[in-house]
Chain A
Amino acid sequence: MSDLLFYLLAGLAVVSGFLVVLNPLSRSPVTSAMFLVATMVCLAGLFLLLHAYFLAAVQILIYAGAVMVLFLFVIMMLDLKEEQRQRFSRWRVPLAVGAALFFLAGLAGPLGRAKALSAATGTAVEGHTAPLGQLLLSTYVLPFEVVSAILLVAMVGVVLLSKKESK
């Protein structure tokens, strides 16, 4: 059952990920954003299958919720026109495909080794909120605080950036 769910979610994630990058039917950025939401939701499902319950919730709340709303908001605010004739810069397409193939070829070796490793099926780890929180506030307490500083700095920076300059 969970195997079936995995194949379903993984297929959906890959297909909608493809439609984010290259959508043959629509040229509007809003469509891409919507398919990105679909990808995020599928990934949240995959997190559930990996027993990372807290991460699945965070993925839905932050990515599918906050981040994508921000994206849609900016798309609407900038009022982007449907893209004209060229969506891809011409000479960069072969470069991109070449880089992608190179990257996949580089990954083939590690993936082969992972296949051997996956015989050991993990069962012990359950990503509930409580164990994650304990780890976050004991071992990882310094990175946790640093991240809060990053959020504050980002907020100040965004306010500064989006303020209209008055001279």
Chain B
Amino acid sequence: MMPVGLAHYLVVSAVLFTLGLIGVLARRNLLLVYMSLELMLNAANLALAAFSRFNDQLDGQIMVFFIITVAAAEVAVGLALIVALCRQRRITRLDELTYLKL
């Protein structure tokens, strides 16, 4: 077994990101799509932290810090939107969101 390097972390990150991508594209439940989105963000965070480590620069970790902060804000707003949708229109599935259609 070769020693764990940058490529290993990137492979894990890519696999997690792809799983999240599949979830976002294929799931119907609004909340599960949202969770898959979080999975994708986390995968990107892992890649950034790995790059930061193997390039001997701290900047990548700062980037991860910002991403985590913005993701927290995004989760709060997104979940509030989902709750509002659910309360007003009883929608929990993506393909019921067709109000922009003429």
Contacts and interface: CB of A to CB of B under 8 A. Distances in A.
B100 interface: no
Nearest to A125: B56
A114 B21 contact: no
Nearest to A40: B42
A111 B5 contact: no
B51 to A, nearest CB: 9
A96 interface: yes
A131 B84 CA distance: 41
Contact of A59 (B19, B59, B68): B68
B80 A43 contact: no
Contacts of B31: 29, 71, 74-75, 78, 80
A151 to B, nearest CB: 5
Nearest to B21: A100
Contacts, number: 234
A121 B7 CA distance: 11
B68 to A, nearest CB: 6
A97 B22 CA distance: 6
Contacts of B49: 46-47, 50, 52, 55, 127
A161 B86 contact: no
A166 interface: no
Contacts of B77: 154, 157-158, 161
Contacts of A121: 3, 5, 54
Interface of A: 2-3, 6-7, 10, 13-14, 17-18, 20-22, 29, 32-33, 36, 39-40, 43, 46-47, 49-52, 54-55, 58-59, 62-63, 66-67, 70-71, 74-75, 77-78, 80, 83, 86-89, 92-93, 95-97, 99-100, 103-104, 107, 110-111, 114-115, 117-125, 127, 131-132, 135-136, 140, 143, 147, 150-151, 153-155, 157-158, 161-162
Given A89-B26, A114-B7, A132-B65, 10 more contacts: A2-B4, A14-B12, A20-B19, A29-B31, A43-B46, A52-B53, A52-B61, A70-B75, A117-B54, A121-B54
